[in-house]
Amino acid sequence: MNQFSYQHGQLHVEACASQDLAHTYGTPLYVYSRAQLTHNWQAFNQHLPKPHRACYAVKANGNLAVLQVLAHLGAGFDVVSGGEIARVLKAGGRADSIVFSGVAKSHAEIEYALDVGILQFNVESLAELERINQIAAERGTSAPVSLRVNPDVDAKTHPYIATGLEANKFGIPMRDAVAAFKRAHSLEHVHVVGVDCHIGSQLTELAPFLDAMDRMLALVDELAAIGIEIAHLDMGGGLGVTYDDETPPAVADYIQAMLAKIEHYPQLALYLEPGRAIVANAGILLTRVEYVKPSDKKDFVIVDAGMNDMLRPSLYQAFHRIENTSTHQHGEAQKPCDVVGPVCETGDFLGQERKVKAAEGDILAVFNAGAYGFAMSSNYNTRVRPAEIMVDGNQVHVVRQREQLEQLWQLERTLEL
């Protein structure tokens, strides 16, 4: 299923022409498809009947309308801050559907999570475990915890988004896992409900997932032998999407391979935390060409979206397909171009060495922008962040208004000189 297609000479999002959206709502502009978002969620949900569970990773895209659609579909949520808990609740998500990950949970965040009644904490260190126990004791309650274990598996992805190696900051080293579970089992104000791992993001092969799962199941066996029963195995997220020529496994194959691993563990539920696989291809970024600057070796297509709007290409050297929204400009340009933005950095680009046909005033689409697009945006160079809209058939909803300049300094104060 693909809700972004060319019809009548223009790129459409569901039933809406992208150029009309750009002219009406301005650029840069994030555009999401409700139908694509729903389809992507259902691809996971249909293969994870209860007690298995999928929890959407809010960090990928925390727009309230995105969360609202997923909450309406019955999604769980994986969060990494107290702010993300508040977003989920504001969007209509249930507190008891939230798993709280992250390496640096503060006192205030733990108190908040306990007060609203989240499903569980994914604990990343012994120090965090002790803190949760102390705060739960002060509140006269018991905190549900799953310990995140680092299985030391090479996810074969970009080093900035690899999380399962011993060199990474995440999780408890496998060699210390049994001792950590023993300590958790001994504490009065936490109760162990699961074991958790997450080896990285944008994985396009099954082997790293299954390798990590083998190591985690060996740990489950070792814990059972000493009387510590585990109710669920949380394998995190990380399933990749096709940005260029990647061929990630189908969602069904990914899930069924994991379920096959636990068929002899009837006591175990499988938890997954997809983010990118839910929202990446449900969004595009529309940007207007301001200038075309020729040179001997390549042209520069200068657009109104910059690295502050879409950071991934600059941060990760990530590839996003870029196309002209008008079919009259289809086909390859005679020489390559860099699609660059207005930010005052050489690293401000959306794509390099592309053969995109473009002229001043054209609208370009940056594809697979729904994950880590707006979520990583900033106001660098005193630039307002884009509007976000969601298309639902032929209906358009503004789900975040474009910022205004005055909003950028409303919390600042000048001196009295």
DSSP 291: E
Catalytic residue among 55, 197, 337, 344: 344
pLDDT at position 191, please?
96
Domain edge (last residue) among 279, 311, 338: 279
Distance separating alpha carbons of residues 50 and 127, to the nearest angstrom: 32
User: Is pLDDT at 1 greater than 80 in this prediction?
Assistant: no
Q: Is the pLDDT of residue 330 over 60?
A: yes
336 and 260 belong to one structural domain = no
Residue 330 lies in a domain: yes
What residues have CB less than 8 Å from 207, skipping those under 6 apart? none
Do 261 and 214 belong to one domain?
yes
**Is pLDDT of 61 > 60?**
yes
329 has a pLDDT exceeding 70: no
The enclosing H or E element of 149 equals strand 143-150
* CATH of residue 356: 2.40.37.10
Q: What is the mean pLDDT of residues 121-126?
A: 96
Active site residue 55: no
Tell me, yes or no, whether 313 and 355 share the same domain. yes
Label the pairing between strands 16-17 and 10-13. antiparallel
Please give the share of the chain, as a percent, with pLDDT higher than 70. Answer: 95
**pLDDT, average across residues 376-401:** 98
221 and 329 assigned to the same domain: no
244 and 209 in a single domain? The answer is yes
Q: Which residues does residue 203 pair with via DSSP β-bridges, in sequence order?
A: 239
The answer on 82 and 115 residing in a single domain is: yes
Identify whether 271 is part of a domain: yes
**Whether 223 and 316 share a structural domain:** no
Average pLDDT, the chain: 93
DSSP states of 4-51 as a string? Answer: EEEETTEEEETTEEHHHHHHHH-SSEEEEEHHHHHHHHHHHHTT--TT
Summarize pLDDT for 19-59 with one digit per residue, the tens.
999 999 999 999 999 999 999 999 999 999 999 999 999 99
What pLDDT digit, counting tens, does each position of 63-109 carry? 999 999 999 999 999 999 999 999 999 999 999 999 999 999 999 99
Residues 117, 259, single domain; the answer is yes
Torsion 118-279-45-159 (CA) sign = negative
Q: Which of 261, 279, 297 finishes a domain?
A: 279
How sure is the predictor about 157, in pLDDT bands with cuts at 50, 70 and 90?
very low
Asked if residues 145 and 234 have their Cβ atoms less than 8 Å apart, the reply is no
Instruction: Report the pLDDT value the prediction gives residue 121, as an integer from 0 to 100.
Output: 98
Is residue 162 pLDDT above 50, yes or no? no
CATH of the domain at 193: 3.20.20.10
Prediction pTM value: 0.94
| Domain-embedded: residue 116 | yes
Contact 122, 98 (CB under 8 A): no
Is 226 part of a structural domain of the chain?
yes
Q: Given 230, 250, 279, which residue is the final one in a domain? A: 279
pLDDT tens by residue, 228-285? 999 999 999 999 999 999 999 999 999 999 999 999 999 999 999 999 999 999 999 9
Lowest mean pLDDT among 166-170, 314-318, 362-366, 379-383: 166-170
∠ CA 240-241-246, rounded to 5°: 95
Q: Determine whether the annotation assigns residue 276 to a binding site.
A: yes
Q: Is 345 annotated as a binding residue?
A: yes
416 in any annotated domain: no
Residue 385 annotated as binding site: no
Determine if residue 312 is labeled as part of a ligand binding site: yes
Question: How high is the pLDDT of residue 332?
Answer: 64
Count of C-beta atoms within a 10 Å radius of residue 413: 6
User: Which helix (DSSP H) or strand (DSSP E) does residue 115 occupy?
Assistant: helix 107-116
Q: Is residue 238 part of a domain?
A: yes
Instruction: Tell me if 114 is assigned to some domain.
Output: yes
User: Residue 154's pLDDT is what?
Assistant: 64
Buried b (16+ CB within 10 A) or exposed e, 82-107: bebbebbbebebbeebbbbbbeebee
Residue 317 sits in which domain range? 4-31+281-408
206 and 250 both lie in a single domain: yes
How many structural domains does the chain have?
2
Question: Does residue 414 lie within any of the structural domains?
Answer: no
